[in-house]
């Protein structure tokens, strides 16, 4: 359990600045998720915290100690890689115990710690197998076990679930959340999947092009996105965003309304449009509308609504659910 | 389709038979003959089989020179191959993992070593200057120098197929650079290492010209050079020459038969991801 603090962290590759001054505090025991589109610098930031990538300038503090120039192994972190990065020539047991054996801990102690971790992650039956003989989910657990056994102050995860199929992913999401509750450790988790971010995070950090766009709890980001970028990134289906003339007519630079905050009716409403396409998801229905006044508009309504393509409908925003942004992001 | 494969198979087999097997049979037959018979150099079976007689003659020739030659060749081969594996893997690792101006320079150097033919006389001067001429360790270094380019290339290509995440995971686990190499990377290099060991040990064991240039002297004789025993001195003793050929051919042949599967695996496994 430790606090992580980043101060004016920058990173350039040659002349290209990919990290443009990051200030961030992750509180002890927090589950902090970095989200953002591909290439925005999430991995780079995580790897700088891990010490695998050196910052160009700025400072990293873990547990109140400046670790900016420490070796990765001296920072009190453990990292889980997207590719798992298990040592193929070692058994599960030796994979988990690798760090301890490098530190020349006594054999008995290693065995006891590794067994304890195997217990937590239910790896018992696989302890003597090689990684090759494990499924994706099991490999992922071994990778997590290798992190746990180091007893780190901070766990770092770089898209650990992106190689798993949807069902396994949601199961592992749950397991990770439980693990976090059980260990109480600080965790920093990188993903580009906003569902993972929303379901697991205590705190979400939305990144864009090497900058932090907004930091907040999942509901804060959903209810009060600070910029159009965050507004468009958090929430599914994504918020309808309009700029240019449309927004200017409403007195702002960017106007946003979430699909679930549109009321659709056949009789009256603010905008009139034609249903172009209907997506039925069971519990609810996604309507794609052509509104002459705005352009394309996506709305979410009841699962058993009776709209059909070609139909002319009316849409109005729920009061207080509209977003008006000044300068476009 | 089947038929065509059959034909191609048969043709390749026939070619291989003519190129590899017939000469070998010729050597074996003539190694069993008496001196007079073998002087005719033909394929007729020996009238009198004298295997043991020829064998002991060859081994005892010139004061058991063949045994000394086996010893020398083994020392050179083991020494050179050991150094080749260690340096080839280490250099290949650094070249692949740490791209920089310096490592591209070194890589160009390695390639140059492959492309430019070695010059014998200046090499001998250098060896003489540093007192390594006519010594086994000098010969070991020569063999390492000749083999290193190819070895580095093989290792480098193979290491490129090992994900970098593994190194980083080991670093996070607290491994120092040499530990990353010896505890994580080296064990994964087994397929190429087998290839390097087999290919290089056969090449070095079978080497004729380099020991001839760089390792003169009776006490420095290597197995391939023992062939001169029966060519220059006893010109008529073709049977002993062939017996000698047979004896020096067998060790590499055994190595090859045992390891040929792994050799092919090692040659191709790194190639996929280049
Ligand atoms: N070694 C490098 N040299 C130059 N540029 C790099 C290097 N590594 C990363 N970058 C650049 O830094 C930026 C951030 O990369 P990073 O891998 O952190 O993105 P990411 O947010 O993790 O993306 P993804 O979701 O696709 O993993 C990218 O634009 C990338 O091109
Ligand atoms: Mg990434």
Contact residues on chain A for B183, CB-CB shorter than 8 A:
98, 102
| Same fold yes or no, A4-231 and A238-325 | no
Dump pLDDT digits (tens) for A97-127: 999 999 999 999 999 999 999 988 888 889 9
Q: Do A52 and B174 touch (CB under 8 A)?
A: no
Across chain A, mean pLDDT equals 92
Superfamily of the domain at A4-231 = P-loop containing nucleotide triphosphate hydrolases (3.40.50.300)
Ligand 1 pocket, Cβ-based, cut-off 6 angstroms: A 13, 18, 36, 38-44, 192
- Comparing CB atoms, the residue among B171, B172, B184 nearest residue A87 is B184
User: Which chain B residue has its CA at the smallest distance from A83's CA?
Assistant: B165
pTM: 0.84
Q: ipTM of this model?
A: 0.85
Indicate yes or no: CB of B175 within 8 angstroms of CB of A85: no
Residue ranges of domains in chain A: 4-231, 238-325
What strand order describes the sheet that includes A295-302?
Answer: A262-265, A312-317, A271-280, A284-291, A295-302
pLDDT of residue A157: 95
pLDDT tens, chain B, 274 aa long: 688 999 999 999 999 999 989 999 999 998 898 888 888 888 888 888 888 888 998 888 888 889 999 999 999 999 999 999 999 999 999 999 999 999 999 999 999 988 888 889 999 999 999 999 999 999 999 999 999 999 999 999 999 999 999 999 999 999 999 999 999 999 999 888 988 998 899 999 999 999 999 998 888 889 888 887 777 655 668 888 899 999 888 888 888 888 877 777 766 654 433 3
The rounded Å distance from CA A196 to ligand 2 centre is 15
- 């301890």: which residue's tokens? A100
Contacts of B171 in chain A (CB under 8 A): 52, 71-73
CB contact under 8 A, A73 and B187: no
The rounded distance, in Å, linking the Cα atoms of B216 and A69 is 56
Q: Which of A72, A82, A86 sits opposite B172 (nearest CB)?
A: A72
How many angstroms does the Cα of residue A85 sit away from the middle of ligand 1? 19
Contacting residues of B for A130, CB less than 8 Å apart: none
Residue A247's pLDDT is what?
87
Tell whether B129 lies on the interface with A, counting CB pairs under 8 A: no
Quote the pLDDT of residue B273.
Answer: 35
% pLDDT > 70, chain A: 99
Q: What is the pLDDT of residue B147?
A: 93
- Return the number of other C-beta atoms located less than 10 Å from residue A70's C-beta: 15
Q: Give the pLDDT score at B269.
A: 56
The confidence score (pLDDT) of residue B233 equals 55
Superfamily for the A238-325 domain: Nucleic acid-binding proteins (2.40.50.140)
B184 and chain A: CB distance < 8 Å anywhere?
yes
Instruction: Assign domain B64-268 to its CATH superfamily.
Output: MetI-like (1.10.3720.10)
- b/e map A193-224, b = 16+ CB within 10 Å: ebebbbebbebbbbbbebebbbbbebeebbee
Map out the domains of chain B as residue ranges: 64-268
Element (DSSP H or E) covering residue B243: helix B238-269
- Residue whose CA is closest, atom 18 of ligand 1? A41
């Amino acid at each position: 359990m430790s606090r992580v603090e980043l101060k004016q962290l920058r990173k350039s590759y040659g002349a290209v600045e990919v990290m443009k001054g990051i200030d961030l505090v992750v509180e002890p025991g927090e589950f902090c998720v970095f989200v953002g589109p591909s290439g925005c610098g999430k991995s780079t930031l995580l790897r700088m915290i891990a010490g695998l990538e050196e910052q160009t300038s700025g400072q990293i503090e873990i547990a109140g100690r400046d670790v900016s120039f420490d070796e990765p192994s001296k920072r009190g972190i453990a990292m889980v890689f997207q590719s798992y990065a298990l040592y193929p020539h070692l058994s599960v047991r030796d994979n988990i115990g690798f760090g301890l054996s490098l530190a020349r801990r006594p054999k008995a102690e290693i065995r006891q710690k590794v067994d304890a971790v195997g217990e937590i992650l239910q790896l018992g039956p696989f302890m003597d197998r090689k990684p090759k003989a494990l499924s994706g989910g099991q490999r992922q657990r071994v990778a997590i076990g290798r992190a746990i056994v180091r007893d780190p102050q901070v766990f770092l995860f770089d898209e650990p679930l992106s190689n798993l199929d949807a069902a396994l992913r949601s199961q592992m999401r749950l397991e990770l959340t439980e693990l976090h509750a059980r260990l109480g450790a600080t965790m920093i988790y990188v993903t580009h999947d906003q569902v993972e971010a929303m379901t697991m995070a205590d705190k979400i950090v939305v990144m864009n092009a090497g900058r932090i766009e907004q930091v907040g709890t999942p509901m804060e980001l959903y209810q009060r996105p600070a910029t159009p970028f965050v507004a468009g990134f958090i929430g599914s289906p994504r918020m309808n965003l309009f700029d240019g003339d449309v927004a200017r007519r409403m007195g702002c630079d960017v106007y946003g309304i979430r699909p679930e905050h549109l009321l659709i009716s056949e009789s009256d409403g603010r905008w009139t449009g034609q249903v172009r396409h209907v997506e039925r998801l069971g519990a609810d229905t996604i309507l794609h509308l052509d509104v002459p006044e705005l352009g394309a508009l996506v709305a979410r309504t009841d699962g058993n609504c009776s709209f059909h393509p070609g139909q002319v409908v009316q849409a109005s925003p729920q009061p207080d659910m509209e977003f008006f942004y000044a300068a476009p992001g | 389709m089947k038929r065509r494969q059959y034909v191609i198979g048969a043709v390749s087999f026939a070619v291989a038979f003519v190129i590899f097997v017939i000469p070998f049979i010729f050597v074996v037959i003539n190694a069993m003959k008496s001196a007079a018979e073998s002087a005719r150099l033909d394929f007729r079976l020996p009238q009198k089989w004298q295997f043991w007689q020829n064998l002991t003659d060859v081994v005892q020739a010139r004061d058991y020179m063949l045994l000394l030659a086996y010893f020398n060749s083994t020392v050179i081969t083991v020494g050179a191959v050991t150094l080749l594996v260690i340096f080839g893997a280490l250099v290949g690792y650094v070249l692949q993992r740490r791209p920089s101006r310096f490592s591209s320079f070194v890589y160009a150097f390695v390639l140059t070593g492959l492309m430019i033919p070695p010059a014998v006389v200046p090499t001998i001067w250098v060896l003489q200057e540093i007192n390594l001429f006519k010594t086994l360790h000098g010969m070991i270094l020569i063999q390492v120098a000749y083999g290193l380019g190819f070895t580095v290339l093989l290792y480098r290509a193979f290491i490129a197929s090992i994900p970098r995440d593994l190194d980083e995971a080991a670093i996070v686990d607290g491994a120092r650079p040499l530990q990353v190499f010896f505890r994580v990377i080296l064990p994964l290099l087994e397929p190429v290492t087998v290839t390097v060991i087999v290919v290089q040990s056969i090449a070095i064991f079978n080497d004729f010209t380099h020991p001839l240039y760089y390792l003169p002297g009776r006490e420095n004789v290597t197995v391939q050079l023992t062939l001169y025993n029966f060519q220059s001195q006893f010109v008529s003793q073709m049977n002993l020459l062939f017996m000698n050929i047979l004896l020096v051919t067998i060790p590499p042949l055994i190595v090859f038969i045992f390891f040929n599967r792994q050799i092919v695996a090692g040659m191709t496994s790194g190639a996929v991801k280049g």
